[in-house]
Structure formats: C-alpha cells, structure tokens
Amino acid sequence: MTFTLPTLPFEKTALEPYISANTIDFHYGKHHQAYVTNLNNLIAGTDMQGKSLEEIILASSKDPAKMGVFNNAAQVWNHTFYWHCLKQNGGGEPSAKLLELIKASFGDFEKFKAEFKQACITQFGSGWAWLILEEGHLKILKTSNADLPLAHGKKALLTCDVWEHAYYLDYQNKRPDYVDTFLNHLVNWEFVESQL
C-alpha cells in the first residue's frame, strides 16, 4: 500500500488572480507530489508501511533516525490540509460560531488577523503559521520546516504555508502581501469551522 497525491479540492485556476495556476502546478504538482513520492520510497519495506499518515507522523516525530520520514509525511499532511484551507472567493469573516470563538480568544477579528499575519511574516525561513484549538480556546502558533501541531498533541484548524515555494512565483519576496491576500481572499472558513 502506498500513498497517493490527494485530489486538489478546487480547479488549479480557481484561486486566480491571487494564487496562479502556475504556482499550483509547481506547489501541488511538483512539491506536494515529491513529498508523496519520497515518503513512499522511504517507508517501503519498513515497519512504517501500512500505517496511516498520522501514525507515521507520530511514530517518526521524536526519532532523529526517522527525520526524513517525518519531514515527508508531515509535508504530505500539511499540504493536503493547506489546500483545504483555501477556496475561490474565500477570506473575509467566518460564520457566527467561529467568529464568537475568535472574539473570545483574540478580542476581535482584526486582532486575530494581525496576530496571524505576524506569525506568518516572523517565521524565519521555511515553515507554517497555524490557528489551533487548545482547551476550548484558539491560539496561533508557527512551526519550522515540516513541523506541525499534530506532532505536539495539538489540533490544527487553519494553516498558511510560508515556504517561499508557496508564494514566490506570484509575490516574489513580498510575503506580507501573500499573507494579506490569504486572509482577505482565500481562507475557506467553512473548512476551518468543520475542524472544530
């Protein structure tokens, strides 16, 4: 049994003009595919074969000898989650239930956006910014490289990929512009709420 590249939950042109089909071709078609291919090659014939993606992530996250497995398995999970966090005509405010939780946790929606953006733009080098649920409250965190909330026993609700490959073709070095666009035009709040 091997892992396959999950189907993209939208057409590759659906996020234009904010994220181009060219970016999707590379990010999904090349980078995400490469993590799937690498993972399959790394687990072939090992005790990891036959385990679920989540099981592989948890079994490899604390083992330095399995860093390659962890990095690729986590990146498969992260990218699949990221695609579901995006949609055509997304962004803006979430529905009442989630908005109340955001207000209770951050004060108001604008403060949430500012804090999430700050996490995105201050992640040094490659990584991810996350909205997570912890003991009934929402929190923002950032992780380096392939690291993810699951490896720390935390529940992810939303992520923004801040690896340069996520935005460089469309935004070059302007990561803050990519993050603004992500928040204002792309976040799939229905998906985020479905993860509560």
- Bridge-partner residues for 159, per DSSP? 130
Q: Which position's Cβ is nearest Mn ion? A: 161
Closest to Mn ion by CB, 57 or 98? 57
Angle between helices 96-106 and 109-122 (to 10 degrees): 70
In the complex with Mn ion, the residue whose CB is nearer, 24 or 183, is 24
Residue 147 or 161: the one with the smaller Cβ distance to Mn ion is: 161
Distances (CA, A) of 193 to 154, 161, 172: 16, 19, 31
Measured over the CA atoms of residue 110, residue 112, residue 118 and residue 121, the dihedral's sign is negative
- Closest separation in Å from C-beta 119 to Mn ion: 16
Rounded to the nearest whole angstrom, what is the least distance from the CB of residue 14 to Mn ion in the complex? 17
Report DSSP state, residue 152. G
- CB of 83 or CB of 116, closer to Mn ion: 83
Question: How far is the CA of 5 from the CAs of 44, 90, 137, in angstroms?
Answer: 17, 24, 33
Residue numbers at the binding site for Mn ion (CB under 5 A) = 161, 163, 166
In whole angstroms, the minimum distance from the beta carbon of 190 to Mn ion comes to 22
Rounded to a whole number of angstroms, the minimum distance from the CB of residue 159 to Mn ion is 10
